Amino acid sequence: MTSSVPLIQLNSGTQIPQLGFGVFLVDPADTQRVVEDALAVGYRHIDTATGYNNETEVGAAIRASGIPRDEIFLTTKLRNDHHKAGDVEGSFARSLDMLGVDYLDLYLIHWPLPARDLYLDTWRTFETFANDGRARAIGVSNFLIPHLERLIEHADIVPAVNQVELHPIFQQRELRSFQATHGIKTEAWGPLGQGKYDLFGMAPIQAAAAAHSVQPAQVVLRWHLQTGNIVIPKSNSRDRMAQNFDVFGFELSADEMAAIDALDENRRVGGNPAEVD
């Protein structure tokens, strides 16, 4: 793994690079080039999903990179309409085939879809992937505390990761605290707010950027890392990828961290997991 990126120990025994690269909304036509660029920059943690429709291209980029498979941490996610009884195994097998790999480092339930009430049965199938080694770790995405409590009560394996919307105006403090208590690591999607509000114009972020001679995005990613989040920014630009990766040469002070912490409004910019179906 790339030496500059801290490794986070998961409850499965495997380690995940704390800084990764996501390909949400990356056009399949661009994905191979984008992922090859990310790997060339130094990322060794790639996050995709069946629902992104670019698993094939992610796999092609990994092969073209020449980087050994065991040096890349690869995540994908179960598509929402594949929770159907009997299709979870098939969806997992198709993901392996499209990615061109024989195991995943992390496999996630993409959304809990509580109105369908299938996630517990789906999780039991996920446990078979962990038990037979085809998934080095299994986890969830967009789960709320009640969904996690139900899994913990009725399942054999506690999720290794919960990947959730998390950025300075939506910091998920209660969820993060719950997960820390139960050994579940928090991974942030939309870590830069998806451009849906003027994150980079906020005074504490601008002040920290000026103080450290870095860009506002680097400040926000550094805040995530120092908070303890796993974080997966995305960009189609190699220069921006490199900038986002260059966050280990400075450290935010306690006052700077506190000022960004104080931006929390508990306000989502994405879907509410209690309502997505």
Active site residues: 52
CA distances from 255 to 203, 212, 239 (A): 13, 14, 30
Rounded to the nearest 10°, the torsion over CA 112, 83, 92, 231 is -20
User: CA-to-CA distance for 177 and 33, rounded, in angstroms?
Assistant: 38
- Name residue, tokens 């928090």: 186
Residue 44 Cα to chain centre, angstroms: 13
Chain position carrying tokens 């943690």: 45
Q: Say which amino acid occupies 201.
A: G
Phi and psi, residue 78, nearest 5° = -70, 130
